[in-house]
Amino acid sequence: MRLLTAPLLPLLLHSLTTQAYTPISNDFLKAIPPPAETDFNIDSGGLLAPLLIPRVPGTPGQVKAQRHFVDFFRENLPEWEISWQNSTGTTPSSDGKQLPFQNLIIRREPPWTKQRGPGTASFLTLVAHYDSKITPKGFIGATDSAAPCAILMYLARTVEKELAKMWARQQQQAAAASRERAGNEREEEKKMPGPDVGIQILLLDGEEAFVSWTDTDSLYGARSLAAEWENTTYPAMSPFKNPMRQISLFVLLDLLGAAGPTVPSYFQSTHWAYQRMAALEGRLRQMKILESKEGTQPFLHEGGKMAAEFSGHGFVGDDHVPFMARGADVLHIIPTPFPRVWHTAADDGKHLDMASVRDWARIVTAFTLEWMDVQKTGT
Ligand SMILES: *[C@@H]1O[C@H](CO)[C@@H](O)[C@H](O)[C@H]1NC(C)=O
Ligand SMILES: *[C@@H]1O[C@H](CO)[C@@H](O)[C@H](O)[C@H]1NC(C)=O
Ligand SMILES: [Zn+2]
**pLDDT one digit per residue (tens) for the chain, 379 residues:** 555 444 343 333 333 444 556 899 999 999 999 999 999 999 998 999 999 999 999 999 999 999 999 999 999 999 999 999 999 999 999 999 999 999 999 999 999 999 998 999 999 999 999 999 999 999 999 999 999 999 999 999 999 999 999 999 999 998 888 888 776 655 545 577 889 999 999 999 999 999 999 999 999 999 999 999 999 999 999 999 999 999 999 999 999 999 999 999 999 999 999 999 999 999 999 999 999 986 678 999 999 999 888 875 567 999 999 999 999 999 999 999 999 999 999 999 999 999 999 999 999 999 999 999 987 654 4
Assigned domain for 184 exists: no
Total structural domains within the chain? 1
Confirm whether 336 is domain-assigned. Answer: yes
What's the pLDDT score for residue 312? 59
Does the C-beta of 227 come closer than 6 Å to ligand 2?
yes
Give the active site residue among 254, 302, 353, 359: 254
Within a domain: 112: yes
Q: How far is the CA of 94 from the centre of ligand 1 (A)?
A: 21
What confidence score (pLDDT) does residue 10 get?
Answer: 36
Q: Is 189 part of the annotated catalytic residue set?
A: no
Quick one: pLDDT at residue 311?
Answer: 73
Nearest listed ligand to the Cα of residue 136: 3
Residue 203 lies in a domain: yes
Give pLDDT, residue 295: 67
Give pLDDT, residue 187. 52
Q: What is the pLDDT of residue 177?
A: 86
Say if 185 falls within a structural domain.
Answer: no
Say what the pLDDT of residue 15 is: 36
Q: What is the pLDDT of residue 376?
A: 63
Choosing from 131, 144, 162, 207, which is the catalytic residue? 207
294 noted as active-site residue: no
Residue at 281 is within a domain:
yes
Distance 231 CA to ligand 2 centre (A): 6
pLDDT at 190: 59
Does some domain include residue 126?
Answer: yes
Q: What is the CATH number of the domain that holds 148?
A: 3.40.630.10
**Residue whose CA lies nearest to ligand 1 atom number 8:** 84
Q: Which residue range forms the structural domain that includes residue 73?
A: 2-178+190-377
Structure confidence at residue 367 (pLDDT): 98
Per-residue pLDDT at 182: 73
Can you tell me the distance from the alpha carbon of 132 to that of 119, in angstroms, rounded to the nearest whole number? 32
